[in-house]
Amino acid sequence: MTTTQILDHGELARHIAEMYRDVANESVGDLHFHTGRGLAERLGYPPDLLGQLPDTAVSSFAGVGFHLGLARLHPGERVLDLGSGSGMDVFAAALRVGPAGSVVGLDITPGPGGRLALADIVTQRTIAARTAAQPDLWAACIAGAGQRDRYLHDIAVAGLQLRTVRRNRAYSFASERTQRTTDKYDAHTIELLAVKPTEELSK
């Protein structure tokens, strides 16, 4: 019997996410790996860099090497940190790329939480194939617009809780053609706020 046959992958993912949540909250005792500032310094993170970062990010750091030093980041660059954990590398990268750059951290741990705020165009009715085949209506954000109920459903299925959903009637299309298509499918803007539930939010 192989390891993959023994393990329940869903249960494994939940266990790992919960463990790293506890690491982030500094609420776990026995670990099979080291964490914190001492580890970061041993791995090669400069002490002066660590001193510029949030204490909570440094104290729950759980990395295995100083790869940030290899990246040689420059002001204005964009960074995606996969498996960002405590966020220490995110903050460190932000110092390097400066206000003209951007840094995004992505992690599986539910405890970082999160908010999704967006504005988009949706329709009340399904876009017909003939309409969807017109490039200018794609460029106008109508032909490719999602149907409102499916749009909101997909956000909920992704595990986010909708808190605010509203229509902004101040937006309108400029040409007669786009306005006719808008009227046909009831295309309109939507503004929404959804949150990723955490234990604190669910209480």
Residue 172 burial class via C-beta count within 10 angstroms: exposed 0-12, middle 13-18, buried 19 and up: exposed
Q: pTM surpassing 0.85?
A: no
Concatenating the DSSP letter of every residue in 39-66 gives: HHHHHT--HHHHTTS-HHHHHT---SS-
More confident residue, 54 or 202: 54
CB 60 within 8 A of CB 99: no
Q: What percent of the chain has pLDDT over 70?
A: 86
Q: Determine which of 118-122, 176-180, 186-190 has the lowest per-residue pLDDT on average.
A: 176-180
pLDDT score of 33 more than 80: no
| 65-107 confidence digits (pLDDT tens) | 999 889 999 999 999 998 888 889 999 999 999 999 999 988 8
pLDDT score of 203 more than 60: no
pLDDT score of 201 more than 50: no
What are the structural domains of the chain? 3-106 (no CATH), 115-202 (3.40.50.150)
What average pLDDT does range 56-62 have in this prediction?
88
pLDDT score of 7 more than 70: no
CB 102 within 8 A of CB 13: no
| 154-186 confidence digits (pLDDT tens) | 999 888 899 999 999 888 888 888 888 888 888
pLDDT score of 191 more than 70: yes
